[in-house]
Structure 1
């Protein structure tokens, strides 16, 4: 934050519709730097990024994930992923598995290598859901019509990718900025808390099952609709005339002045 205060400018992967209040605060000359540009969400368009393109091995090829999702009803699947750093403890993984199973919802679980996942879940498409080991084609999964909600640690990249895809979030923040990110999506009406704390935190399986079931059922319809509306607004922000589009043009203009000076 001290470096930000002393910097020439600040470029942020966000958009005004989501964080306008905070961007205005950063732009206040009494508190920060007026050169602040929100140019997000920065996410691959079209949802075509594959696991191989992300640079890691994967247990289920992207085309098989897409084929599995194609067989599911619209908005009926819960996607579960906690980023590249956090690995759930065995008790936490067991509680998550129990919650998913009791919810009755279909799911795609991107589990890090070493995560204790029930054997029945490991059967590719043969159990209640699909488990992916290694890199998951997250943008493509979130962009699939079958996906209705996302159990996430609320890392900022995941939040932005979900916002761009118009997918509601089930927040399980584990560290750093993830707690404030989770609070942000809850306040925006597109998320709900299901657990919090490090990878060793253990959610109540029954409460988690209820939240998961609601997220893709009728009780979660309003939240899903708000998430879809946010997805539309992210598209508007990044197209010509949108807030992020205009901020990027302003940034280019300022950089051009520096080059010509």
Structure 2
């Protein structure tokens, strides 16, 4: 304990900074922000108050158990809005048409949160900063009213985050209202990329002039550009091009790259809050394969529902090629009649998981060589950390942007299809990609052996980023110092 020179009496240390953490109620957003909260809490000198609603509160249990003295939950009733169905509190199972309505409805927490913070403005629990998901842009004016900085957390790539914000900043439109292939350019992003209209996020493509929800979604992203900084779940060597200089599409704000926020297999097991296939059982099944990198893992994320034509093309290709695979199909994906039975009868070379799969553990098993993925950012980072090359099959949201980053720049992925939800590839094409990936690439042969090798390099770069002295570790420690200093101010 410190002492004063004048009295030589011990003085109490300054109170730990109390940071208000506001996740967005979608699993792919909430989990990485909670992972970051755990890292902040473990550093000391910081307390975190994490906001939840009754339905999302169970996701906080591991964080609260691990950091009882530094983290507490603040459960607030889910707000209501006429554009959003009553009784729904998260994005799980939500139709894409309601994503914008969820964002606008969730902004109804602004009033109750403001009251909670103001009631503690003069005590030891006073909030010194707001750390919130970039789908919670309404926390920016809230923080401004409270006189504290707001840090926007991005669970996406910096590149993808810039593309998203560029849309709402510039509001580009296609020349022909019926042309789904009309190119939309992003002139202020390095390389000035362009994407066909159909590959842009539905949040933007479905905007309606004068509509309350549409205006609320737009305002959300414009508010983010007023935040004091962005913190992104990415790492320098993966996105150096977009981290080297401030981006106009992020309001020229500083971006702290603190990723990958990918936990180890034990910590990740069942963190989705649902009954998982036992990680040990899955590991034992993979142990049966003597050849390293011989198994393909298939997953299209926790929210995506693979359309029947896409599922049929993939299932046919898997049967035709005979590659060993694990397919985390989820409970609702309709697979071709008899597929699961035929796979089970074929010597156990394939396995379909209908529950929540232990993805991190699967990706880090030595037998796993390739990952058929929709290119959701959490899945991308988990594959990068595991050194697993990807077969990119983007469907919607930021997935096309992520896939382009992986295929064209990082060199750690091979495209399966660019058709998205609207066009399923032929089974022959999927089979060609599978055969080219699995046959020999794990041994330094095959047409895409260099992609598999690049994935291994990315794993080394990701590990270095979060290790002592690494770029992501340094950014994390700088963020911790910044928050502690806020707590020490009178």
* TM-score, normalisation: structure 2: 0.50
Which deviates more, 162-171 or 203-212?
203-212
Q: Which runs of 5+ in 1 are unaligned?
A: none
**160-169 vs 91-100, greater mean Cα deviation:** 91-100
Q: Distance in 1 between matches of 2:433 and 2:420?
A: 20
Q: Does 1:97 align with 2:291?
A: no
**3-state DSSP class of the match of 2:224?**
helix
Summarize the alignment of residues 44-123 of structure 1 with structure 2, pairs less than 5 Å apart: 44-45=263-264, 47-49=265-267, 52-58=270-276, 60-72=277-289, 73-117=291-335, 118-120=339-341, 123=344
Aligned match of 2:236: 16
Does residue 250 of the first structure (1) align with residue 478 of the second (2)?
yes
| Equivalent residue number for residue 137 of structure 1 | 358
Alpha carbons 1:51, 1:57 under 8 Å: kept: no
The CA deviation string for residues 198-221 of structure 1, in whole angstroms up to 9 with x for no partner, is 445312111111111221222232
- Residues 376 and 398 in structure 2, CA contact (< 8 A), matched pair in contact too: yes
For residue 31 of structure 1, report the CA deviation from its aligned partner. 4.7
Whether the 8 Å contact between 1:50 and 1:62 is mirrored in structure 2 is no
* Paired residues of 2:465 and 2:473 also in contact (CA < 8 A): yes
- The CA deviation at 1:184 is 0.5
> Higher mean Cα deviation, 117-126 or 7-16?
117-126
Which residue of 433, 437, 458 corresponds with 1:211? 433
- How far has the Cα of 1:125 moved from its partner? 8.0
| Cα distance, 1:143–1:120 mapped onto 2, change above 3 Å | same
**Change beyond 3 A, Cα 1:114–1:31:** closer
Cα distance, 1:84 vs. partner? 1.3
Query: 1:246 and 1:125 mapped to 2: Cα distance?
Result: 50
What is the CA–CA distance in structure 1 between the aligned matches of 2:344 and 2:418, rounded to whole Å?
29
Tell me if structure 2 keeps the 8 A contact 1:101–1:128. no
User: 1:175 and 2:396 equivalent?
Assistant: yes
Q: Using the TM superposition, give the Cα deviation of residue 56 of structure 1 relative to its aligned residue in structure 2, in angstroms.
A: 1.5
Q: TM-score, normalised by structure 1?
A: 0.91
Identify the match of residue 456 of structure 2 among 228, 247, 254: 228
Q: Give a deviation string over 1:11-67, Cα, whole Å, max 9, x none.
A: 100000001111224367995113x2100000112x224654432134x43222111
- Contact 1:103–1:213 (CA under 8 A) maintained in structure 2: yes
- 8 Å CA contact retained: 1:99, 1:208: yes
Separation of aligned partners in 1, 2:250 and 2:429: 45
Residues 1:162 and 2:162 aligned together: no
Distance 2:357 2:247 in 1: 37
